[in-house]
C-alpha cells in the first residue's frame, strides 16, 4: 500500500509549484525586518530565508507565488490560508492556456493540460470537475508562460484558492526550464496535475522533509508517500497516476455529495436508521421521534423516554430506557426485556448486541443475553444485518468481531454504525465523519462534522451534529 500525507493549510491550502531536485545554489533571500507582509508570512510558518520579493508577489520556498494584495487582505492564521474552492465552483473549474503558450512545437503544453484535467476528473468519489476551454473569456485558471520570472530550476508555479472560494487563478510555466531542456510529454502531464492540485487547495505532501512548516494533514491520509503527485522537488518526474492517498485526500476535501439539513420542528441528539425512511431519533430529553418520510418528525413516545435507540433493516426497533433496561417496540408500546444495558445495536431481529454499564459485551439469542466478552471491553458496539459487528474499545480503537475475538483496526473513533460488511460509517472525537473503504477510514467531507451517524441497509446515511441539527447524506462513493 502506498503511504502518504496530503496537506492543507489550517482549513485549507495553498498553491505550489514543483521544483526540480537540481539546486542552483543561489541564496535569494533578503532582509525582511521592516516588512509587515513578510512578518505575516513568517508568522504563518514560512522560513525567512525562503521568502523572495518579486514586486507584486512573494516567491516562497522557491516555487510558491503569494500575491501581496491577497496577503494584505488575509487575517493572520496558524498556517497559510483558510480557503478551499467553493462547492459551487469546484464542480465547474474552467482552465485555458493563453497565447503566451505556443500552439505548436515542444513548448505547446495543451495536450498535457487536457490530460491532467482528465486525471483530476477521473477520481471517483470526488466532485472535482475541470474543463479546458481555449476561448473562455474569464477562465478560473489561466496557464501562461512565466516570461522569465521563475528561477531556472523551477518548472512551474501556481496560486492558491482565494478568499472568495475561487481556484488559484494562474499557473506559470517556465518554458526555458533548465536552460531549455526538452521536457517529455509525461513530465509535462505530471507537473500540470501537480500545479492544478495547488490551485484547488493542496499543499506539498513532503512538506516536512522540505523544511516547510505549520501544515495540517488531511484526515485519513497517514504517514509519508513517495508516490504522491503533490510531493515538491519532483519537476523531472513522469506521470504514473495518483497514489492511493492522493485519491483519499481529493475525496476528503471535495466529496462527491453533501449533507442536507432536514431539521424541521426541533432537534435530535441521537439518530437510528433501518433503511430508506425508517429513521428514528431521540431529542435531548429522550423523547422518541420517527421520520414521516417527507417533511417532519412524529412524536411516538408512549410512557417514558429512552437513553439510546437502534433500528434494524427489517424494522426491528430496540432501545434503552432511563432505568437502563433494554426495551423492544411492538408497534404501539415498549416491551421491557431482561438485562441492564447502556447501549444497544440492532442489525436485524437476529443480530442484536449491547453493552452494559461495565462495558461488557452481550448478544441477544432470542430470549436472553449471552456474554461474549473475550479479552477486554467496549465503549460502543454496532451490528449489521449480515452479522458484521464492529466496536470501539476502551482506547477508542475501532475493532471488528471475527467470530471469536476483536481485531483492532486503524483509527481513533468515538462511535460506529454498521449496515453490513460493505457499509460502515463512524465519527471521531473531533466529529469528523468517516466511511470504511475496506482497508482504512476514508474521511467524508472535510468541512463540518457530526456527533452521531447512522447508516441503513440501503445505504441511507443520516446524522446529527453537536447542536442537534439533523442531516441526511447524499453521496456518490465508489466504496
pLDDT tens per residue, range 88-143: 999 999 999 999 999 999 999 999 999 999 999 999 999 999 999 999 999 999 99
12-16, 329-333, 388-392: lowest mean pLDDT where?
Answer: 12-16
Q: Taking a C-beta distance cutoff of 8 angstroms, is the pair 447, 11 a contact?
A: yes
Q: Taking a C-beta distance cutoff of 8 angstroms, is the pair 339, 350 a contact?
A: no
Residue 24 is placed in which grid cell? 542552483
Instruction: Determine the pLDDT at residue 226.
Output: 87
| Residue 347 C-beta-side C-alpha neighbours within 13 Å | 24
Q: Which of 317, 312, 248 is nearest to 276 (CA)?
A: 312
**Each residue of 66-88: b (16+ CB within 10 Å) or e?**
bbbebbeebeebebbbbbbbeee
Instruction: Determine the pLDDT at residue 148.
Output: 94
| Mean pLDDT of the residues in the chain | 85
Q: Is the CATH code 3.40.390.10 the one for domain 7-254?
A: yes
Which comes out higher in pLDDT, residue 398 or 9? Answer: 398
Instruction: Determine the pLDDT at residue 113.
Output: 98
Angle made by CA atoms 362, 309, 285, in degrees to the nearest 5: 130
Residue 105 is placed in which grid cell? 512545437
Q: What percent of the chain has pLDDT over 90?
A: 63
Helix 110-121 to helix 185-199 angle, to the nearest 10 degrees? 50
- How confident is residue 187, by pLDDT bands cut at 50, 70 and 90? very high
Rounded Cα distance between 191 and 63, Å, is 13
Task: Look up the CATH architecture of domain 259-475.
Answer: 6 Propeller (2.120)
Residue where the block lists cell 490530460: 115
Instruction: Determine the pLDDT at residue 45.
Output: 59
Rounded Cα distance between 331 and 339, Å, is 21
Q: Where in the chain is the domain with CATH 2.120.10.30?
A: 259-475
Q: 288 to each of 55, 97, 308, 400, 461, how far by Cα in Å?
A: 63, 58, 10, 30, 19
Looking at the predicted structure, is the pLDDT value of residue 35 above 90?
A: no
Q: Which of 77, 38, 75 is nearest to 60 (CA)?
A: 38
- Phi and psi at residue 185, to the nearest 5°: -60, -40
Looking at the predicted structure, is the pLDDT value of residue 189 above 50?
A: yes
Q: 425 to each of 391, 405, 441, 476, how far by Cα in Å?
A: 12, 21, 9, 15
Q: Where in the chain is the domain with CATH 3.40.390.10?
A: 7-254
User: Please, is 339 exposed, middle or buried when counting C-beta atoms within 10 Å of its C-beta (0-12, 13-18, 19+)?
Assistant: middle
Specify which residues 59 forms β-bridges with. Answer: 52, 65
Q: 414 to each of 179, 308, 324, 433, 467, how far by Cα in Å?
A: 55, 15, 21, 11, 17
Which comes out higher in pLDDT, residue 444 or 17? Answer: 444
| Segment 290-297 long-range contacts (CB within 8 Å, at least 24 positions apart) | 295/264, 296/264, 296/265, 297/264, 297/265, 297/266, 297/268
Range picked from 220-234, 276-290, 367-381 for highest mean pLDDT: 276-290
Amino acid at each position: 500500500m502506498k503511504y502518504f500525507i496530503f496537506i492543507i493549510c489550517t482549513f485549507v491550502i495553498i498553491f505550489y509549484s514543483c521544483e526540480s531536485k537540481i539546486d542552483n545554489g543561489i541564496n535569494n533571500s533578503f532582509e525582511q525586518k521592516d516588512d509587515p507582509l513578510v512578518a505575516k508570512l513568517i508568522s504563518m510558518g514560512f522560513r525567512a530565508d525562503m521568502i523572495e520579493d518579486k514586486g507584486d508577489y512573494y516567491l516562497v520556498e522557491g516555487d510558491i507565488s503569494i500575491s501581496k494584495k491577497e496577503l494584505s487582505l488575509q487575517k493572520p492564521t496558524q498556517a497559510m490560508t483558510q480557503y478551499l474552492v467553493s462547492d459551487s465552483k469546484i464542480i465547474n473549474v474552467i482552465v485555458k492556456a493563453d497565447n503566451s503558450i505556443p500552439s505548436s512545437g515542444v513548448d505547446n503544453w495543451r495536450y498535457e493540460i487536457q490530460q491532467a484535467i482528465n486525471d483530476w476528473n477521473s477520481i471517483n468519489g470526488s466532485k472535482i470537475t475541470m474543463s479546458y476551454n481555449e476561448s473562455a473569456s474569464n477562465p478560473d485558471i489561466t496557464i501562461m508562460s512565466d516570461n522569465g520570472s521563475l528561477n531556472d530550476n523551477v518548472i512551474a508555479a501556481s496560486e492558491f484558492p482565494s478568499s472568495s472560494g475561487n481556484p488559484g487563478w494562474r499557473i506559470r510555466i517556465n518554458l526555458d526550464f533548465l536552460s531549455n531542456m526538452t521536457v517529455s510529454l509525461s513530465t509535462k502531464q505530471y507537473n500540470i496535475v501537480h500545479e492544478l492540485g495547488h490551485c484547488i487547495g493542496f499543499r506539498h505532501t513532503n512538506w516536512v522533509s522540505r523544511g516547510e512548516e505549520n501544515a495540517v494533514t488531511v484526515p485519513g491520509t497517514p504517514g509519508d508517500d513517495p508516490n504522491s503527485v503533490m510531493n515538491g522537488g519532483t519537476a523531472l518526474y513522469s506521470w504514473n497516476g495518483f497514489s492511493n492517498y492522493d485519491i483519499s485526500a481529493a475525496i476528503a476535501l471535495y466529496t462527491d455529495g453533501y449533507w442536507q439539513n432536514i431539521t424541521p420542528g426541533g432537534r435530535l441528539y441521537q439518530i437510528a436508521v433501518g433503511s430508506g425512511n425508517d429513521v428514528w431519533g431521540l431529542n435531548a430529553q429522550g423523547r422518541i421521534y420517527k421520520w414521516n418520510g417527507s417533511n417532519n418528525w412524529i412524536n411516538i413516545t408512549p410512557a417514558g423516554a429512552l437513553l439510546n435507540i437502534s433500528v434494524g433493516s427489517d424494522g426491528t426497533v430496540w432501545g434503552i430506557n432511563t432505568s437502563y433496561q433494554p426495551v423492544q417496540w411492538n408497534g404501539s408500546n415498549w416491551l421491557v426485556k431482561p438485562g441492564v444495558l447502556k447501549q444497544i445495536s440492532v442489525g436485524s431481529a437476529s443480530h442484536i448486541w449491547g453493552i452494559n454499564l461495565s462495558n461488557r459485551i452481550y448478544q441477544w439469542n432470542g430470549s436472553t443475553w449471552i456474554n461474549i466478552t473475550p479479552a477486554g471491553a467496549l465503549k460502543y458496539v454496532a451490528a449489521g444485518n449480515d452479522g458484521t459487528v464492529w466496536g470501539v474499545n476502551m482506547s477508542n480503537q475501532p475493532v471488528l468481531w471475527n467470530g471469536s475475538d476483536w481485531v483492532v483496526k486503524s483509527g481513533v473513533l468515538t462511535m460506529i454504525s454498521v449496515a453490513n460488511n460493505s457499509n460502515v460509517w463512524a465519527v471521531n472525537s473531533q466529529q469528523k465523519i468517516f466511511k470504511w473503504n475496506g482497508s482504512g477510514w476514508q474521511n467524508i467531507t472535510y468541512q463540518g462534522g457530526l456527533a452521531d451517524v447512522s447508516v441503513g441497509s440501503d445505504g441511507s446515511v443520516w446524522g446529527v451534529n453537536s447542536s442537534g441539527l439533523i442531516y441526511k447524506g447524499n453521496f456518490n462513493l465508489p466504496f
